[in-house]
Amino acid sequence: MFLKIRRVRLQDWITRQWLINILLVGYLVTIIGFMIIRNMSITPDRFFIIVLFAAVIMGRTRTFLRDWIPFIALLLAYEMLRGFADTAGFRVNVANIVALERGIFGFIPTVELQKHFFNPAHIRWWDIMATIVDFLHFPLPLLVAFYLWTKDRVHYWRFVIALLILSFAGFITYLVFPSAPPWYASQRAHLIDVHKIVDYVVAQVGWRWNFSQIYHQLNPNEVAAMPSLHAAFPWLSFLSLRTFNKKIGWFFLPYAFLVWISVVYLGEHYVVDVIAGIAYATVAYLVVYHWDEIKRFTERLLARITQQRIPSSR
């Protein structure tokens, strides 16, 4: 009799959890879809409000506020600082990035992609899809953070710490090595023939830039191309999700490839920017998720170097 009661309670709990999960997914999909249709940019401050209501549905409001307010505050601080990264007085890298890209591939991938697939007079469905992917590059990692928060707060904290390390490492790079994207090299330096496809899509489809009041106060940074955080965020999300659940992680991987192709095609990043973004994300992941292994490896390496130097000094 006791086992039967426990079984019934377990079934009720599972049913309640499934109902909550369905409500959460439906709520998030509806809100994000509405924001896309209404041309509302899904900035971190807006996302915070969206998932706050989701936390209320889950009955975890207090825990959510304690875990998310520091994260969102630091993320907004990064966004504020990023706008000033091109004012440090360092020379903007334009021609040397073009030369690097051409030296590796023998051509500029963005130029070739646009030559074969883009027509300025006629926007196609893949132009719109690539633009939407570009718009979603920031909300998706936040959705991953929220998913991990609902499942395991330890994994959530690992992911957001790695995300913040990645973001501020990118900011430091933008500060000392400002790098122009392909459209900049075309429109400002006239080195290559590239269109800023996002502007064409926004103009022809009738979208507009609807930012929150906080983001209206932030300075945009046109020379923060390397590393590409568009490329880095989905790769870090994949690595973190794979650590949490391999099946879910591998399911997320195709999205990362879609982002990489989209940002290169749109003229927002070179392939070398994407490669740099992947490298930065990998390092941030290793530092947070495998710090103990890195520390042990470093200690063994230093011990070997020390042992080799002792005989040679006699």
Q: Average model confidence (pLDDT) for the chain?
A: 81
- Give the per-residue pLDDT at 238: 94
Instruction: Classify 190 in phi/psi space as left (phi over 0), alpha (psi -120 to 50) or beta.
Output: left
Q: What is the DSSP letter of 12?
A: H
Q: Is residue 87 very low, low, confident or very high in pLDDT (cuts 50, 70, 90)?
A: low
- Give the per-residue pLDDT at 165: 93
Mean pLDDT of 115-138: 88
- Give the per-residue pLDDT at 260: 94
Domain boundaries, the chain: 59-312
Share of the chain above pLDDT 70, in %: 77
The phi, psi pair for 93, rounded to 5°, reads -85, 115
Mean pLDDT of 124-141: 86
- The closest of 78, 32, 74, 79 to 53, measured between CA atoms, is 32
- Give the per-residue pLDDT at 27: 65
| Residue 246 reports pLDDT greater than 60 | yes
Q: Is residue 49 very low, low, confident or very high in pLDDT (cuts 50, 70, 90)?
A: confident
- Give the per-residue pLDDT at 263: 94
Which of 56-65, 83-92, 100-109 tops mean pLDDT?
100-109
- Give the per-residue pLDDT at 313: 47
DSSP string, 75-100: HHHHHHHHTTGGGS-PPPB-HHHHHH
- Give the per-residue pLDDT at 285: 95
User: What pTM did the predictor assign?
Assistant: 0.82
* CA 258/CA 224 separation, integer angstroms: 21
- Give the per-residue pLDDT at 216: 46
The residue among 94 and 42 whose pLDDT is bigger is 94
- The closest of 112, 96, 139, 140 to 261, measured between CA atoms, is 112
Q: How far is CA 65 from CA 46, 165, 247, 254, in A?
A: 14, 21, 30, 32
Mean pLDDT of 95-115: 93
Residue 93 β-bridge partners: 179
| Residue 311 reports pLDDT greater than 60 | no
